[in-house]
């Protein structure tokens, strides 16, 4: 092959199909310039280090560089390479100086760095230095990385020369590089290597295929005929690559010969299929005929390849051919062809596709129904409705999807007209299809269906209206609800609720309902409207509920209590407490108590001590064991010492003991780091009288957790998360928030931080688990008691950035975005004798958010006598 032939192949550095060595002739002309000019130019341009010897120093340092050493010299040189690229003379000079390092006894680590940097700036002038590494098993690859896309015929020559001087893996690397460079002059050598050992032969075949051309094709065809065993698929693949090259060069017949050879290859069905696809491209006039023939080969890969052709081959004639063939195909072919015809999207195939919806074969029917969904029109509606309301589950599902997907201006109208008669299940299918299709224009018709004699039709209509109705139709829908049948009320309420929620604000959302409530005479009407208002929420709705709390009808009062118990905020806490105390109706009282407990836990902003007080109060309101169990269930979510004590107090009650154990263990798991001594005492009580083995096991696990902290500080409280406007985590790092502002810090609500749930990281202070979120910041605080004044090392880790204050003095800050590891920073700090405060500020970018901390002696030893405690 000569270089003219190769111009149709993208080669190294070649974006347009023109060989890089030719196109790069202009830059290469720079080589003719005296090198000495380089430095002068560089100085003149101000692009070179202020002193030329600074570069020499850097290169001298580089020669002795080893992995693990300070990488400053690497960064410096890499920066120079980036800057040099803009100016050819600078780039050439720097490349030359770097390449010179390769010819010294510099360390492997340094040479690897040089090769990487040369990838973008090396020229033919540096090629010999790089080629000198080709025999080096470890560096050969890096040299090839720099050479593979370097323009220049001398590069090819160097690679060909090295081919004869290497063996094994290094030679194989060079073979592939010659292939990647599309070096036609290497073909003779590569053809000789086709007689070598299998691994070399395979590489040479792949490279020859990439280079392509007549010589390569003939050599590979000969090899295909003679090769055996595992190597043949590789040769076949190389032939297909070669055929692609032929096609890109316009030699369609040459490519077709190769593809036909493989298409006829018995015993290699996958290659046959690939050959078919190649043949269709090389001989487009035969493509439809070939695909039609292959489609008949039931179950063979080439049948799949033919189906792919159905998707790709253009023209109405092709559609007609494949559609006509459908009926005569085997079931596998029919399924493949139907799927492909659907994707082809030519409606000309609709009659034949529709016919197969009645196939005796279930899989064929399914594929046909799916294709009708894509190709169908008004005329398909009736057929699809039959399948949607009959047949097996899969068939119904396929028909429904097809009904949803049908395109055309009259489909919705056709469906709506069909609502006038037929079986109830068909009407349900129509309504559901209209809903899925978003056919809002049929809502009047659908409202009429809420009065259908069949319950399933009415329910389907309510559901459809829920999906389709705009807010403006709310009054009409409320009317439907209030006039409707009692048995449909749940579904009708869901409809009204969904549409009411479309209102722009609370006033809009509640206005219609409040208006109807004011004039409602029937208790059942008031119940329905109050239930809806309860779910919509807001001040107006709450006012209406409170007003109805004294309604004459018990059912209305019960509805009010239920709605308040399920309120989305803790606003009705006092209402519910009053209802419990009043105790007028037992069912109502129980609902109120349950709601009261729920609302205590609902307010995440409530200070833990206030929550503890409310739970204590709830325990007092509970009049029997089931009610106390409810309180324990809520209490178990709290993480305070008071909660632990309150739950522990119920351990003595044999009736409550199982629930008490669960609550105690849940709380203990959360507060054990903060209150280790008290937790141990409570755990001992659990272990003494535990009834369930699981409780003992969990108690032992919590006790074990207490031992796992080592000398990491485990007693911590965390603040709320803070954000400010659009500030990202690295901006938040420098913005002070309440915990670090003395005059505001007293108002901060602190919570106990539960220990990590990751047994591999017991030291982890997991703010993500506690607070979640992204682009925010939070604080952690603890107190540390030191037996004496002492200088220590505070070892910190964080995800992401961290600041630390000891006794109110800022001792460290690192505005990092990173993953956590222990002791990422070691900060020298002075602890005073007695109690010391430690405050951490930790920023959160995305994903993990955590910190860890411990004190160590300056020599790294553990510190005796320290203990941490929350405030």
Partner 1 sequence: MAARARQVPDRVSRRQFLRRAAGLGTAVAAFPEFVPASGLGRAGTVAPNSRIVMGCIGVGGQGTRGMAGGIWAPEGGFIGRKEIQVVAVADANQRNRDNAQRIVNEKYGNRDCASYRDFRELLARREIDALLVATGDRWHPLVAIAAAQAGKDVYCEKPTSVTIEEALAVRAAVRRYGTVMQVGTQQRSSYSFRFACELVRNGYIGDVKEAIVAVGGPAGIRHCDLPGEPVPDWLDYDLWLGPIPWRPFNSRFVGGWMGYRDCSGGEMTNWGAHHFDIAQWGLGMDESGPIEIIPPNGKDIKVLTYRYANGALLTRDPDRLMREAGQGNGVMFTGTKGKVAVWRYELRTWPEHLARQRLGPNELHLHECDNHHTDFINSIRSRSRPGSDIGIAARSITVCHLGNIAYELERPVEWDPQLERFVNDPQADRLFSRSMRSPWHL
Within its chain, how far is the Cα of 284 from the centroid? 42
Kindly identify the residues of this chain, within the stretch 285-304, that bind partner 1 according to CB under 8 A: 298-301, 303-304
Mark the segment that binds partner 1 (CB under 8 A) among 262-270, 449-457, 521-529, 632-640.
262-270
**Residue whose CB is less far from partner 1, 115 or 631:** 115
Task: Give the Cα separation of 121 and 94 in Å (integer).
Answer: 8
Closest approach of partner 1 to the CB of residue 151, in Å: 6
Taking CB under 8 A as the rule, does residue 10 contact partner 1?
Answer: yes
Mark the segment that binds partner 1 (CB under 8 A) among 198-206, 523-531, 608-616, 861-869.
198-206
Mark the segment that binds partner 1 (CB under 8 A) among 38-46, 172-180, 744-752, 753-761.
172-180
Kindly identify the residues of this chain, within the stretch 424-483, that bind partner 1 according to CB under 8 A: 437-440, 467-468
**Residue whose CB is less far from partner 1, 782 or 845:** 845
Among 156, 180, 251, 659, binds partner 1 (CB under 8 A): 180
Taking CB under 8 A as the rule, does residue 148 contact partner 1?
Answer: yes
Among 113, 596, 763, 805, binds partner 1 (CB under 8 A): 113
**Residue whose CB is less far from partner 1, 13 or 538:** 13
Q: For 830, which DSSP code?
A: E
Among 382, 407, 485, 857, binds partner 1 (CB under 8 A): 407
Task: Give the Cα separation of 295 and 313 in Å (integer).
Answer: 14
**Residue whose CB is less far from partner 1, 140 or 535:** 140
How big is the chain, counted in residues?
A: 871
Closest approach of partner 1 to the CB of residue 611, in Å: 28
Task: List, as one string, the DSSP characters of 444-499.
Answer: HHHHHHTT-SSHHHHHHHHHHHHHH--GGGHHHHHHHHHHS-GGGHHHHHHHHHHH
Closest approach of partner 1 to the CB of residue 858, in Å: 26
Among 94, 96, 101, 140, binds partner 1 (CB under 8 A): 140
Backbone angles phi and psi of 103, in degrees to 5: -95, 10
Mark residues 202-241: x for contact with partner 1 by CB under 8 A, - for none: xx--x---------------------xxxxxxx--x--x-
Task: Give the Cα separation of 241 and 271 in Å (integer).
Answer: 12
Among 726, 743, 861, 864, binds partner 1 (CB under 8 A): 726
How far are the Cα atoms of 9, 153, 547, 566, 794 from residue 3, in angstroms, in the given order? 10, 10, 93, 81, 68
Task: Give the Cα separation of 149 and 19 in Å (integer).
Answer: 11
Taking CB under 8 A as the rule, does residue 172 contact partner 1?
Answer: yes
Closest approach of partner 1 to the CB of residue 528, in Å: 25
Among 80, 280, 307, 767, binds partner 1 (CB under 8 A): 307
How open is the CA angle 438-441-442, to the nearest 5 degrees?
A: 90
Taking CB under 8 A as the rule, does residue 12 contact partner 1?
Answer: yes
Among 6, 178, 273, 765, binds partner 1 (CB under 8 A): 273
Mark the segment that binds partner 1 (CB under 8 A) among 81-89, 511-519, 659-667, 861-869.
81-89
Closest approach of partner 1 to the CB of residue 513, in Å: 20
Asked if 718 contacts 749 with a C-beta cutoff of 8 angstroms, the reply is no
Mark the segment that binds partner 1 (CB under 8 A) among 12-20, 381-389, 516-524, 568-576.
12-20
Closest approach of partner 1 to the CB of residue 805, in Å: 27
How open is the CA angle 830-835-839, to the nearest 5 degrees?
A: 70
C-alpha dihedral sign at 660, 665, 666, 671:
positive
Nearest partner of 651 among 684, 698, 610, 614, judged by Cα: 684
Task: Give the Cα separation of 816 and 802 in Å (integer).
Answer: 7
Taking CB under 8 A as the rule, does residue 782 contact partner 1?
Answer: no
Within its chain, how far is the Cα of 810 from the centroid? 38
Taking CB under 8 A as the rule, does residue 411 contact partner 1?
Answer: yes
State in Å, rounded, how far the first CA of the chain is from the last one: 83
Task: Give the Cα separation of 655 and 665 in Å (integer).
Answer: 17
**Residue whose CB is less far from partner 1, 277 or 781:** 277
Closest approach of partner 1 to the CB of residue 232, in Å: 5
Closest approach of partner 1 to the CB of residue 170, in Å: 7
Q: Cβ contacts of residue 672 below 8 Å, gap of 6+? A: 679, 702, 705, 706, 714, 755
How open is the CA angle 869-870-871, to the nearest 5 degrees?
A: 120
Q: Cβ contacts of residue 767 below 8 Å, gap of 6+? A: 718, 753, 778, 780, 842, 844, 849, 850, 851
Q: Cβ contacts of residue 437 below 8 Å, gap of 6+? A: 403, 404, 411, 412, 415
Helical ranges in 519-624 per DSSP H: 523-536, 539-548, 554-565, 573-582, 586-602, 608-621
291 burial level (CB within 10 Å; 0-12, 13-18, 19+): buried
Among 42, 101, 144, 261, binds partner 1 (CB under 8 A): 144
Mark residues 344-383: x for contact with partner 1 by CB under 8 A, - for none: -----------------xxxx-xx----------------
Task: Give the Cα separation of 197 and 359 in Å (integer).
Answer: 55
Mark residues 40-69: x for contact with partner 1 by CB under 8 A, - for none: --------------------------xxxx
Kindly identify the residues of this chain, within the stretch 687-716, that bind partner 1 according to CB under 8 A: none
**Residue whose CB is less far from partner 1, 3 or 141:** 141
**Residue whose CB is less far from partner 1, 65 or 737:** 65
Task: Give the Cα separation of 783 and 825 in Å (integer).
Answer: 20
**Residue whose CB is less far from partner 1, 305 or 474:** 305
Asked if 326 contacts 332 with a C-beta cutoff of 8 angstroms, the reply is no
Closest approach of partner 1 to the CB of residue 484, in Å: 25
Taking CB under 8 A as the rule, does residue 405 contact partner 1?
Answer: yes
**Residue whose CB is less far from partner 1, 199 or 218:** 199
Mark the segment that binds partner 1 (CB under 8 A) among 400-408, 473-481, 783-791, 828-836.
400-408
How open is the CA angle 552-479-412, to the nearest 5 degrees?
A: 150
Which residue shows structure tokens 């999807």? 401
Kindly identify the residues of this chain, within the stretch 788-847, that bind partner 1 according to CB under 8 A: 845-846
**Residue whose CB is less far from partner 1, 64 or 744:** 64
Among 59, 95, 142, 446, binds partner 1 (CB under 8 A): 142
Taking CB under 8 A as the rule, does residue 527 contact partner 1?
Answer: no
Among 267, 620, 693, 859, binds partner 1 (CB under 8 A): 267
| Size of the residue set binding partner 1 (CB under 8 A) | 108
Radius of gyration of the chain (CA): 40
Mark the segment that binds partner 1 (CB under 8 A) among 111-119, 184-192, 600-608, 660-668.
111-119
**Residue whose CB is less far from partner 1, 402 or 647:** 402
Nearest partner of 684 among 657, 710, 665, judged by Cα: 665
Closest approach of partner 1 to the CB of residue 343, in Å: 6
Kindly identify the residues of this chain, within the stretch 733-752, that bind partner 1 according to CB under 8 A: none
Taking CB under 8 A as the rule, does residue 20 contact partner 1?
Answer: yes
Kindly identify the residues of this chain, within the stretch 606-625, that bind partner 1 according to CB under 8 A: none
Task: Give the Cα separation of 528 and 544 in Å (integer).
Answer: 13
Within its chain, how far is the Cα of 419 from the centroid? 44
Taking CB under 8 A as the rule, does residue 320 contact partner 1?
Answer: no
Kindly identify the residues of this chain, within the stretch 487-506, that bind partner 1 according to CB under 8 A: 502
Taking CB under 8 A as the rule, does residue 74 contact partner 1?
Answer: yes
């Amino acid at each position: 092959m000569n270089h003219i032939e190769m111009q149709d192949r993208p080669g190294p550095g070649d974006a347009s199909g023109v060989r890089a060595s030719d196109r790069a002739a202009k830059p290469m002309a720079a080589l003719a310039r005296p090198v000495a000019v380089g430095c002068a130019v560089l100085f003149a341009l101000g692009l070179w280090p202020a002193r030329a010897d600074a570069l020499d120093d850097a290169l001298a340092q580089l020669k002795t560089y080893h992995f693990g050493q300070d990488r400053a010299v690497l960064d410096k040189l890499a920066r120079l390479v980036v800057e040099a690229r803009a100016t050819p003379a600078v780039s050439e000079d720097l490349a030359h100086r770097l390449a010179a390092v390769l010819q010294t006894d510099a360390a492997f680590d340094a040479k690897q760095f040089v090769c990487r940097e040369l990838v973008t700036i090396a020229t033919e002038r540096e090629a010999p230095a790089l080629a000198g590494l080709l025999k080096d098993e470890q560096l050969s690859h890096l040299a090839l990385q720099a050479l593979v896309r370097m323009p220049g015929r001398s590069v090819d020559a160097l690679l060909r020369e090295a081919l004869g001087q290497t063996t094994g893996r290094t030679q194989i690397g060079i073979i592939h590089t010659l292939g990647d460079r599309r070096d036609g002059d290497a073909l003779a050598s590569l053809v000789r290597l086709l007689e070598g050992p299998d691994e070399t032969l395979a590489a040479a075949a792949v490279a020859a295929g990439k280079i392509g051309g007549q010589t390569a094709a003939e050599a590979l065809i000969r090899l295909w005929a003679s090769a055996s065993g595992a190597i043949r698929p590789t040769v076949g693949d190389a032939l297909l690559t070669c055929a692609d090259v032929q096609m890109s060069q316009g030699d369609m017949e040459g490519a077709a010969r190769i593809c036909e050879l493989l298409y006829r290859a018995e015993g290699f069905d996958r290659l046959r299929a690939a050959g078919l696809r190649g043949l269709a491209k090389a001989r487009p006039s035969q493509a439809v005929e070939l695909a039609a023939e292959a489609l008949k080969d039931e179950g063979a890969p080439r049948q799949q390849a033919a189906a792919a052709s159905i998707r790709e081959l253009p023209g109405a004639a092709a559609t007609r051919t494949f559609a006509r063939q459908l009926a005569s195909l085997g079931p596998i072919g029919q399924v493949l062809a139907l799927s492909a015809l659907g994707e082809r999207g030519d409606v000309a195939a609709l009659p034949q596709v529709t016919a197969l919806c009645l196939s005796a074969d279930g899989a064929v029917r399914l594929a046909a129904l799916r294709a009708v969904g894509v190709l169908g029109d008004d005329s398909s509606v009736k057929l699809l409705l039959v399948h949607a309301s009959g047949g097996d589950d899969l068939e119904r599902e396929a028909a429904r999807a097809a009904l949803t997907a049908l395109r055309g201006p009259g489909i919705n109208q056709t469906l709506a007209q069909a609502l006038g008669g037929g079986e109830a299940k068909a009407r349900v299918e129509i309504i559901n299809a209209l809903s899925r299709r978003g056919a809002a224009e049929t809502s009047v018709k659908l409202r009429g269906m809420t009065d259908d004699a069949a319950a399933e039709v009415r329910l389907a209509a309510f559901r459809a209206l829920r999906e389709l109705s705009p807010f403006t139709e709310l009054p009409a829908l409320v009317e439907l609800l209030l006039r409707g049948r009692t048995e449909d009320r749940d579904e009708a309420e869901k409809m009204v609720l969904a549409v009411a929620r479309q209102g722009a604000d609370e006033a809009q959302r509640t206005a219609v309902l409040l208006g109807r409530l004011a004039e409602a005479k029937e208790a059942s009407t008031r119940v329905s409207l109050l239930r809806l208002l309860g779910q919509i929420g807001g001040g107006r709705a709450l006012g209406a509920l409170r007003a109805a709390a004294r309604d004459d009808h018990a059912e209305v009062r019960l509805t009010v209590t239920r709605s308040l118990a399920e309120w989305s905020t803790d606003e009705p806490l006092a209402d519910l407490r009053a209802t419990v105390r009043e105790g007028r109706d037992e069912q109502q009282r129980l609902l109120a108590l349950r709601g009261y407990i729920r609302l205590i836990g609902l307010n995440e902003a409530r200070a833990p001590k206030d929550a503890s007080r409310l739970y204590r109060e709830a325990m007092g309101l509970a009049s029997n064991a089931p009610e106390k169990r409810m309180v324990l269930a809520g209490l178990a979510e709290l993480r305070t010492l008071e909660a632990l004590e309150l739950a522990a107090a119920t351990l003595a009650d044999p009736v409550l003991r199982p629930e008490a154990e669960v609550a105690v263990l849940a709380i203990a798991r959360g507060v054990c780091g903060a209150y280790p001594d008290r937790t141990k005492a409570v755990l001992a009580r659990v272990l003494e009288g535990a009834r369930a083995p699981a409780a003992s096991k969990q108690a032992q696990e919590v006790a074990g957790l207490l031992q796992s902290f080592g000398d990491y500080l485990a007693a911590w409280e965390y603040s709320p998360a803070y954000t400010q406007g659009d500030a990202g985590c690295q901006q938040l790092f420098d913005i002070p928030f309440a915990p670090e502002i003395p005059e505001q810090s007293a108002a901060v609500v602190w919570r106990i931080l539960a220990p990590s749930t990751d047994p591999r990281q017991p030291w982890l202070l997991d703010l993500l688990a506690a607070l979640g979120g992204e682009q925010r910041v939070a604080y952690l605080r603890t107190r540390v008691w030191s037996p004496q004044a002492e200088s220590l090392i505070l070892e910190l880790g964080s995800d992401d950035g961290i600041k630390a204050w000891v006794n109110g003095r800022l001792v460290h800050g690192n505005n990092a975005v990173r993953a956590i590891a222990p002791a990422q920073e070691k900060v020298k700090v002075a602890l005073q004798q007695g109690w010391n405060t430690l405050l951490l500020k930790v920023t959160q970018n995305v994903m993990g958010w955590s910190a860890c901390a411990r004190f160590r002696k300056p020599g790294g030893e553990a510190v005796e006598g320290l203990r941490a405690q929350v405030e």
